[in-house]
Amino acid sequence: MLDSPWIAALAALFLWWFSTGAILWVVRKADGDGPDGHIWASLLSVPVLFAGVVGLNVSLELTGPSGAYVGFLAALAIWGWIEQAFLSGLVTGPNRADCPKNAEGWTRFIHAVGTIAYHEGLLLVALGTIWFVSIDSGNQITFWTFAVLFFARVSAKLNLFFGVPHINTEFIPKPLAHLPSYFRIRKINWVFPFSVSGLTFAVACWLERLYATGDVAFAFLAAITALALLEHWLMVLPLPDAKLWRWMLPVSKEDQVRIRDGL
C-alpha cells in the first residue's frame, strides 16, 4: 500500500494540514500563557526537531517507499520546529518594529528583511546542512522537500511584500504583530506570475519523474509543491482557507471576553 502514489499524495496532504494545525495550536496557546509562553513552547517542542534530525539520518540508509515516508516526515519535523520558533518570536530578525510611515522602495525592503533575517538565515543553514549530509545518499527526499518549502516560502513573502489582493492575518501571533505593517493589499504584483509559473513547472517535473520511475518520493514532492502553489493562489482568490484550522485552535483570551460580553 505504501508504494501507491495516491496514498503518498494523500499522506502529504494530511501531514501538511495536521502539522500546520499543530504549529498554530501551540503558538495560539502560547499567546495566552504569558510572556514566557512562547519560550517554553519552543523548548518543549525541541524533541520534534530531534526526531527530524534522527529521521533524516535514518532515511539516508533507506530506499523505496519507507525511505520516502521517513525522509518526508523528517523534513516536516525540522521545518516545523523552525517555523514554530519563528512564530514564537524567538528566531525572527533584528527589526521588531512596525514599518516606518511613508517608507518606500529599498528603504521599506531593507526594513522588511530585518524582520525575518535571522529566520531566513536559519532556514538557509538548515537547507545547506541537509544537502551536505544527503549529497551521497540515494534518498534525497528530505533535502528536496525542505528546498520546495524554502523557495515557496521566499516566494510567498515576496508576494506579501509587493502586494496581493487577499492576506489572511488571523493566525499571526502576538510576537509578530508588527509583520502585517509590511504587507500590502493590491492587485497582482509582478512577482506573482513568476511564482505560480515556477511552481506549476515544478509540479509538472515531479509528475513526469513519478510517471517515469514510479518512485513515490516524487508523489510526495508533487503534492507538497502543488500545496505551495495552492497557497499562492489563495493570496489572490477569496476563499476561506482559515476555516481549515480555525475550528481546532484554542479560543484566545480576547475572544473569550468578546464572547462573554456578547460582542
213-244 pLDDT, tens per residue? Answer: 999 999 999 999 999 999 999 999 988 878 88
At 17 the pLDDT is 94
Residue 209 has pLDDT above 80, yes or no: yes
Amino acid type, 179: L
Note whether residue 193 is domain-resident.
yes
In a domain, 260, yes or no: no
Confidence of residue 257 (pLDDT cuts 50, 70, 90): very low
Grid coordinates given for 115: 524582520
Task: Please give the model's pTM, rounded to 2 decimal places.
Answer: 0.93
> Is residue 263 scored above 70 in pLDDT?
no
What is the pLDDT at residue 249? 81
Quick check: is 263 in a domain?
Answer: no
- What pLDDT, on a 0 to 100 scale, did the predictor assign at position 99? 95
What pLDDT score does 255 carry?
Answer: 56
Is the pLDDT at 13 greater than 70? The verdict is yes
With cell 517554553, the residue in question is: 40
What is the CA 36 to chain-centroid distance, rounded?
Answer: 24
**114-142 residue pLDDT tens:** 999 999 999 999 999 999 999 998 899 99
- Residue 242 located in a structural domain: yes
Range of the domain at 195: 5-165+177-248
Domain assignment present for residue 258? The answer is: no
Q: Is residue 234 part of a domain?
A: yes
Domain membership of residue 189 (yes or no) is yes
| pLDDT for 258 beyond 90 | no
Look at residue 35 in the predicted model and tell me its pLDDT.
74
CA dist., res. 115 & res. 157, Å (int) = 12
Question: CB of 182 within 8 A of CB of 163?
Answer: no
Residues in contact with 170: Cβ distance below 8 Å, sequence separation at least 6, in sequence order: 242, 246
Residue 259 has pLDDT above 50, yes or no: no
What is the distance between the alpha carbons of residues 96 and 142, in angstroms, rounded to a whole number?
A: 32
Q: pLDDT at position 226, please? A: 97
Residue-wise pLDDT tens digits, 63-98: 889 999 999 999 999 999 999 999 999 999 999 999
* Residue 4 vs residues 177, 210, 215: alpha-carbon distances, Å: 43, 11, 9
Res 45: pLDDT:
94
Question: What cell was used for 76?
Answer: 516536516
Closest CA to 147 of 75, 208, 207: 75
pLDDT at position 26 over 50 = yes
Residue 261 falls within a domain, yes or no? no
Query: Considering its fold, how many domains does the chain have in total?
Result: 1
Pairwise CA distance, residues 203 & 182, whole Å:
30
Tell me: the pLDDT tens digits for 152-184?
A: 999 999 999 999 999 998 889 999 999 999 999
Stretch 24-32: mean pLDDT: 91
Mean pLDDT taken over the chain = 92
